[in-house]
Structure 1
Amino acid sequence: MRSMMLCATALAVSMTLTAAAHAQTVLRLGHVGEVGSHFDVAGHEFAKRVKEKSGGKVEVQVFPSSQLGNDKDMLQKMKLGQVDFFIPSSIMSSVTPEFGVFDMPYIIKDREHAARVMAKMGDSVFRPAAEAKGVKILGFWENGFRQITNNVRPIVKPEDLKGVKLRTPRGEWRVKMFQSYGANPSPMAFSEVFTALKTGVMDGQENPLINVWSAKFYEVQKYLSMTGHVYIPAYLVTSPKTFDKWSADVQKVIAETAVEMEPFAREAGKKFDDDLLDKLKAKGMAVNEADKEAFVAASKGIYDEFGTSVEGGKALIDQISALRN
């Protein structure tokens, strides 16, 4: 019996030592996207690369579909250290007003323009603005170009939005933009949108095609109007306090991988846009092209308001516009 106890003790010690030798840093990443969404694809690719680059010592667990809360919840949990990573997008304009510039209609020309903006202004403008509010941006990823879906009518010109009850993300500038077009916009958590559309609480919503597809909005929306009115980055973020708790090796792997993911995110977004339009048509959605020049013309007021009401707003608009070509 004594011999058996000694063997068991030795085995337990051996297992403990083995576990210690292969100890993992386990980190949690949350987002509001559905399984298969852009956020989810990027999050899992990030997790895979982190595991590979760390030799298995760092594991990132991805929690999609608002499992860790909505955007507002996760932002707060991240600041408190209860969530290690979070992938926000539009909500960043409520963190600090500089990010509202991405809600200016058609300010981003294409993905190449977006890449130039982040390369030129990421470290000088957006990272320090966010960090001053307790949000550390690790990587500039992508949410994508947003299109409008609804059950009232095809949206060709801004006036077609008159009276349409439209869900928007939280962020004052998206709301103001659609109000200026005559719509009736209401901020709402992404997890609530499908039900709101199904029950008629909302007539429509606006999102990149991948979110329309992964959330199955085609089941409860008739019209898909290709407005491309806004390009919104997504961001991999953590809190400075959480980042500072990690070892130097973990910090290096996380920071390098987050930046390395940036072109992957943009390329994935392009592929989604290229692949999904025909699939959405096949699901029965009526697709139309919007008169983008009419939308641009109707957007002057929102540019003027942002430029005068946000400190440095006009300079931000000018800097981004100067990088179009």
Structure 2
Amino acid sequence: MKLRHVLLGLAALAMTATPAMSADMVLRFGHVGKPGSLFDLSAKEFARRANEKLGDKAEVKVFGSSQLGNDTELLQKLKLGQVHFSLPSSVMSSVAPEFGVFEMPYIIQNRDHIRAVSKEMLDDTFQPAAERNGYKILAFWENGFRNITNNVRPINKPEDLEGIKLRTPKGEWRVKMFKAYGANPTPMAFSDVFTALKTGVIDGQENPYAQIASAKFQEVQKYLSITGHVYTPGYILTGKRTFENLPEDVQAALQEAALETQEYVYETAARLENELLEELKKDMEVNEADKQAFIEASQPIYDEFGSTVEGGDELVKRVMSLAPTN
């Protein structure tokens, strides 16, 4: 009986000691952004805010530049609890079809539009889609408005993309879109793009200015064509089970920090958009593309999304209805 009492006492001691152990809890945040990118700045701002709230309960540590894996690998590690947060963008369309709506060309007009979509549709549309697949979105952040760089020619209209080997993220709708435009899309991890451009494996790529500049693509690309063809949100993502197993006060602090960081992300993105374009003009030939021509060439993508994704037409209409009217 004495041994039984001792074991019960040790078990009770272990249970009461658990909260104190949280002081050593490290929450790992992995992303693919290079130093100085919007992803890098956003993740570090979140970590700063979260760590202030967490005190000695836990610590968020950020690992950028694909140190903990590419986007697809990070999605797997979130489910396994090996990573606590990641910042996926286009790859979310491979998680659930609902996220493919953000792959529709020119569907998001500006940041006020995405603010409204986040406010009105996160809880009833995108969060359930994430949770069905084992994830939880803490907040909408940003990757940004995407533009095309390449080494062949300036891109003014879709037909200028004919035959160009263009890197895309691993999302089916981006591939479909650029095939429709006449390009030869090549899905590839972001960490591999610079070398592929430098060696001529691919001719070009498409990304927001912050990703282009921080990855130094201007060193290996001749032309920048301002198409703004897609706005991609960034999602601060966690594994649903892993997050729910954290102490409730830790969960609350992390959720608050993620939401508070959202406005910082949008303000920083807008600032970088202006500053970085001027910098990129020093190294690349820049042209404004004929956006109307791209919009007209995009109708087949909307038609296919509406006919192949359950509720696709309604999803598109709802997102469009939230665009600012002025």
TM bucket normalised to smaller: over 0.9
Supply the AA of the counterpart residue of 1:78: L
Are the aligned partners of 1:102 and 1:232 in contact in 2 as well (CA < 8 Å)?
yes
Superposition pairs of residues 1-325 of structure 1, within 5 angstroms: 23-282=23-282, 284-325=283-324
Three-state SS of the structure 1 residue aligned to 2:34 is coil
Supply the AA of the counterpart residue of 1:297: E
Instruction: Name the CA distance, whole Å, in 2 between partners of 1:264 and 1:122.
Output: 19
Query: CA offset at residue 324 of structure 1?
Result: 1.2
Are the aligned partners of 2:95 and 2:133 in contact in 1 as well (CA < 8 Å)?
yes
User: Structure 1, residues 55-105: CA drift from partner, whole Å, max 9, x if none?
Assistant: 243211100011011111111011011111111000000000110110100
Instruction: Name the CA distance, whole Å, in 2 between partners of 1:119 and 1:152.
Output: 41
- Worse-superposed segment, 238-247 or 228-237: 238-247
Change (3 A) 1:323 1:187: same
Supply the AA of the counterpart residue of 1:255: Q
Instruction: Name the CA distance, whole Å, in 2 between partners of 1:145 and 1:58.
Output: 34
User: Structure 1, residues 236-256: CA drift from partner, whole Å, max 9, x if none?
Assistant: 111111111111110110011
Return 5+ residue gaps in structure 2 as ranges: 1-16
Are the aligned partners of 1:218 and 1:280 in contact in 2 as well (CA < 8 Å)?
yes
Instruction: Name the CA distance, whole Å, in 2 between partners of 1:85 and 1:121.
Output: 21
Supply the AA of the counterpart residue of 2:215: A
- What is the match of residue 8 of structure 1? none
Return 5+ residue gaps in structure 1 as ranges: 1-16
Instruction: Name the CA distance, whole Å, in 2 between partners of 1:21 and 1:323.
Output: 46
Supply the AA of the counterpart residue of 1:313: G
Instruction: Name the CA distance, whole Å, in 2 between partners of 1:178 and 1:22.
Output: 48
- What is the match of residue 11 of structure 2? none
Three-state SS of the structure 2 residue aligned to 1:201 is coil
Change (3 A) 1:24 1:275: same
Instruction: Name the CA distance, whole Å, in 1 between partners of 2:274 and 2:67.
Output: 29
Three-state SS of the structure 2 residue aligned to 1:23 is helix
Instruction: Name the CA distance, whole Å, in 1 between partners of 2:305 and 2:261.
Output: 31
Instruction: Name the CA distance, whole Å, in 1 between partners of 2:152 and 2:21.
Output: 61
Q: Scaled by the length of structure 1, what TM-score is found?
A: 0.92
Are the aligned partners of 2:22 and 2:58 in contact in 1 as well (CA < 8 Å)?
no
Change (3 A) 1:21 1:241: closer
Query: CA offset at residue 263 of structure 1?
Result: 1.3
Query: CA offset at residue 261 of structure 1?
Result: 1.3
Query: CA offset at residue 24 of structure 1?
Result: 3.7
Supply the AA of the counterpart residue of 2:314: A
Give the % identical residues: 61
Are the aligned partners of 1:150 and 1:222 in contact in 2 as well (CA < 8 Å)?
yes
Instruction: Name the CA distance, whole Å, in 1 between partners of 2:196 and 2:188.
Output: 9
Supply the AA of the counterpart residue of 1:69: G
Supply the AA of the counterpart residue of 1:223: Y
Instruction: Name the CA distance, whole Å, in 1 between partners of 2:177 and 2:105.
Output: 8
Supply the AA of the counterpart residue of 1:165: K
Query: CA offset at residue 183 of structure 1?
Result: 0.2
Task: Provide runs of 4+ in structure 1 moved above 6 Å.
Answer: none
Instruction: Name the CA distance, whole Å, in 1 between partners of 2:221 and 2:145.
Output: 18
Instruction: Name the CA distance, whole Å, in 1 between partners of 2:240 and 2:272.
Output: 32
Three-state SS of the structure 1 residue aligned to 2:281 is helix
User: Structure 1, residues 187-239: CA drift from partner, whole Å, max 9, x if none?
Assistant: 00000000000010000000000001000000000000000000000001111
Instruction: Name the CA distance, whole Å, in 2 between partners of 1:143 and 1:211.
Output: 8
Are the aligned partners of 1:50 and 1:58 in contact in 2 as well (CA < 8 Å)?
no
Query: CA offset at residue 22 of structure 1?
Result: 8.8
Supply the AA of the counterpart residue of 1:62: V
Instruction: Name the CA distance, whole Å, in 2 between partners of 1:319 and 1:81.
Output: 34
